[in-house]
Structure 1
Amino acid sequence: MNGRTSIPARAGDEAALFHRIGWRLLPVLCLCYVFNYLDRTNVGYAQLQMKEQLAFSDAVFGLGASLFFVGYAVFEVPSNLLLARIGVRATLLRILCLWGLASAAMMFVRTPTQFYALRFLIGVFEAGFAPGVLYYLTLWFPRRRLAQATALFFMAFSVAPILAGPMAGAIMTYLDGAAGLRGWQWLYLLEGIPCVLLGIVAFRTLPDRPAEAAWLHEADKARLQALLRADSPAPPADAHSGLGAAMRDARVWVLGFVSFLLILGIYALAFWQPTMLKGMGLTVMQVGLYAIVPATTGVIASLLVGRHSDRTGERRWHFAAGALAGAAGLMLTTRFQHDALPAILCLALAAAGTSSAFTVLWSMPGSLLSGRSAAAGIAIVSTVGGSAGMVAPVAVGAIKAATGGFTLSLLLLSSALVLAALIFVLYFRPGRPAMSGPRRAETA
């Protein structure tokens, strides 16, 4: 566009290129992910009022929270395979509009059956969003920059709780009774409808692939394609065998199981942390404000660890350190379940560890496979890992009902994180292909 025809080769040119790509893609994707988190976890705050009005037990909420992930798991792989065919724009339009409408419809729930049905449908409609975006990022970022791009995307997963707590507390406190609706009904409505608008924004602003990006010079497109070709594993000989190639790769299943162990802790806290804090004598508004501390710590840790992992090219010990820190935070929380301040600090340690480990883990799948195999592999990892959402909320609810507290649940979750660290370090040891990104001599 400006007369250049040569491919820029300097490190500064490359850094500027990926800086431009990041600013064009990630703000929209991150905003979508914030609402993705809000709409799948706002039931944790809504239940603080729904219990009183609808007489739902902890078991009902635990099962409803888990049914979301049943629908999500069933449709995860098909959604991601469809994305590889029709592109990210059409996929995000479909996903965001449908989940937004279903989430808003939660305001009409009156019976457990209605609650279960809508939670299941929200999972069906959300299926494929996060793994679809992760596959999308592999089309734009080489492996040595993928952890940082992934960290920036997953930063939304950590930022969302910072917003979720105060938003839920304010909506449920100050809108309770407005227009004849309870606070929990306003919560579902105000966090569901914006997703429809975001779907339209994503459709209009995101290109499906670099070749369609009008904001990139032709020389930059050529440079980007050269970097991606040099950095990616060869695609499968049969372009239609992507799912089969991914399913035959043991590393995909190991990553899925490690993700399952990690997400057990993440989702257990997402759904039950509000109840835990309220049990310490806090109001709904205070619960929302206190939740800012662990969420903020998670954001900072994921960005710092993701950046350092990219710079060094090391994945194993970055993941293990995060998982073990998360385990320590959960274990220490059991000592302070009746003292809000130290409990929040322990939960902050748990959030920092799990968020940073999550970021490092998701830099891995895109380096194992390419093309449709990458889309399928990412979806498999996400499906296996996300199935923890079927287990964690209902298991914690059942254990709480049986024991009267969260101690046993937190100890079991911390043990799962320790196991995740051991598996990751031992399986992805030096010598295994695609264990980590290449080491870099230059700085980003």
Structure 2
Amino acid sequence: MNSHLEKRVMRKVTLRIIPFIMLLYFIAFLDRVNIGFAALTMNKDLGLSPAIFGIGAGIFFIGYFLFEVPSNLILHKVGARIWIARVMITWGLVSGCMAFVQGTTSFYVLRFLLGVAEAGFFPGIILYLSYWFPAARRAQVTALFMAAAPISTALGSPISAALLELHGYLGFAGWQWMFVLEAVPAVILGVVVLFYLTDRPEKARWLDEEERTWLKNTMEAEQLSRSVNNASHSAWRGLADRRVLALALVYFGTSAGLYTLGIWAPQIIHTFGVSALETGFLNAFPAVVGVIGMVLWARHSDRTSERTWHVIIACIIAAVGLICAGSVSTLLGVIFALTLVNLGISASKPPLWSMPTLFLTGPAAAAGIAAINSIGNLGGFVGPTVIGVIRQQTGSYAWGLYFVAGLLMLSALVVLWLSTSQRKVQNTDLTHPETH
């Protein structure tokens, strides 16, 4: 009976929550990286050099870094419904304002403000999933949620490229139309969140009383189990936990890879002489492969209850892809290399994000997850910025891509070190807090 009830509840919760948060992340990621397509015409219009563009693309993550932890702690207190709505509406408004960039200063300022506005969305959703799904199911549902990023690339690339074709309509450039039209869904969905999202299982009127009681008791029992096992649950201990810092370093490398793809891949493909629209479709293919690989890899990780090697192998695949992307000289070779990068980056994320909630709960989970995401996402500043600077100095993307590949190899080594250190202390690190 319990097994039947569990399946029924999990099916209802999954169908209610996952498609909606995927849609939210789809729009979030699209608004975050659509400057990669805007750059095909915007950089020339505004006189932005590769170095200036790289810095502006990456400065988003400085604002993101500064406001991530406070934002997630607020979400934990006021609830996901109100806070996610606030995040989406403000980021939609700022993203739309990108259409009115006049030069370097306004480009930098608006990208920074976009990071501030969006801070808390991703870790907030990761925290939100921990309220609704038991740990054993979390990698798969995280994979479904995170699949929205490569899906956003797959579907958003042709859409962004097509919007560039509106160049000259009503006197505005194509990239201006792209920013405005792609910002509108964020504002609309922000309002929808207020009426659709449910903060906690006990408030879920779309579950019957038996289902609601089972889910509430199951999640409370799991949280109590982590508390009994001395899982960190104060915000300060979550921030100070060395496992949090280690996972932040791992995420730093994967973020550098992800935003190298999102921001620079369209321009890398465009150098082979294809049109903006062709670039959009070519950029979509590797992302489709990434979606499939992410879901299958996460399912295998859950089935085997193994996280470490699922992260390590994925990071190595992405690093090899970046090295190939910097070495090959044909369009087909670049698309193959970018497919490897997409596959590795996408597959690494779900098992990685299943780790923090194994040893963090309550405010510590809110602070720890936000810390991993905010510190790790600084890789989104470093990767695109370094590539832009090196591109300007050398005229080539190669050494910038090799640099990001090195960061991903470092991520793999840190995961291996973390796993080894856990075994040396009799596997207590993932279930017991550090003592300070």
> Common fold, TM-score beyond 0.5?
yes
Change (3 A) 1:235 1:376: farther
1:236–1:373 CA contact under 8 A, matched in 2: no
The alignment status of 1:423 with 2:414, answered yes or no, reads yes
Q: Which residue of 2 aligns with 1:9?
A: 2
SS at match of 1:257: helix
Which of residues 230, 235, 259 in structure 2 aligns to 1:243?
235
What residue identity is the alignment partner of 2:146?
A: F
Count of aligned pairs between the two proteins: 426
Q: Which residue of 1 aligns with 2:294?
A: 302
TM-score, normalization by structure 2? 0.94
1: CA distance, partners of 2:145 / 2:214: 23
1: CA distance, partners of 2:149 / 2:429: 26
SS at match of 1:428: helix
Post-superposition Cα deviations, 1:205-256, rounded to whole Å, max 9, x if no partner, equal 1110001100112222222233323433544999x97321202211111111
The alignment status of 1:126 with 2:121, answered yes or no, reads no
Q: Which residue of 1 aligns with 2:434?
A: none
SS at match of 1:46: helix
Q: How does 1:131-210 map to 2 (within 5 A)?
A: 131-173=123-165, 175-210=166-201
Q: How does 1:248-287 map to 2 (within 5 A)?
A: 248-287=240-279
Post-superposition Cα deviations, 1:102-155, rounded to whole Å, max 9, x if no partner, equal 100111111211111111111100000000000000000111000011001001
Q: How does 1:281-430 map to 2 (within 5 A)?
A: 281-336=273-328, 338-429=329-420, 430=423
Q: How does 1:40-59 map to 2 (within 5 A)?
A: 40-59=32-51
2:95–2:114 CA contact under 8 A, matched in 1: yes
SS at match of 2:321: helix
Q: How does 1:21-100 map to 2 (within 5 A)?
A: 21-100=13-92
Which residues of structure 1 form unaligned runs of 5+? 1-7, 437-444
Change (3 A) 1:124 1:152: same
What residue identity is the alignment partner of 2:300?
A: H
1:24 CA displacement: 0.3
1: CA distance, partners of 2:314 / 2:234: 31
1: CA distance, partners of 2:233 / 2:317: 39
1:73–1:127 CA contact under 8 A, matched in 2: yes
1:371 CA displacement: 1.0
1:147–1:363 CA contact under 8 A, matched in 2: yes
Change (3 A) 1:64 1:98: same
2: CA distance, partners of 1:51 / 1:236: 56
1:242–1:373 CA contact under 8 A, matched in 2: yes
SS at match of 1:314: coil
1: CA distance, partners of 2:84 / 2:103: 31
Q: CA RMSD in A?
A: 1.9
2:5–2:211 CA contact under 8 A, matched in 1: no
What residue identity is the alignment partner of 2:346?
A: S
1: CA distance, partners of 2:150 / 2:44: 29
TM-score, normalization by structure 1? 0.92
1:260–1:384 CA contact under 8 A, matched in 2: yes
2:320–2:405 CA contact under 8 A, matched in 1: yes
1: CA distance, partners of 2:228 / 2:274: 55
Q: Which residue of 2 aligns with 1:442?
A: none
SS at match of 1:139: helix
What residue identity is the alignment partner of 1:133?
A: I
1:201 CA displacement: 1.1
2:68–2:374 CA contact under 8 A, matched in 1: yes
What residue identity is the alignment partner of 2:415?
A: F
Q: Pick which of 412-421 and 117-126 moved more.
A: 412-421
Post-superposition Cα deviations, 1:51-96, rounded to whole Å, max 9, x if no partner, equal 2211111122111112111111110000000001100010011100
1:28–1:202 CA contact under 8 A, matched in 2: no
SS at match of 2:279: helix
2: CA distance, partners of 1:24 / 1:434: 34
1:428–1:435 CA contact under 8 A, matched in 2: no
1:341 CA displacement: 1.2
Q: Which residue of 2 aligns with 1:440?
A: none
Post-superposition Cα deviations, 1:309-347, rounded to whole Å, max 9, x if no partner, equal 1111111111111111111111122222x3111210111
Sequence identity of aligned pairs in percent? Answer: 38
What residue identity is the alignment partner of 1:297?
A: V
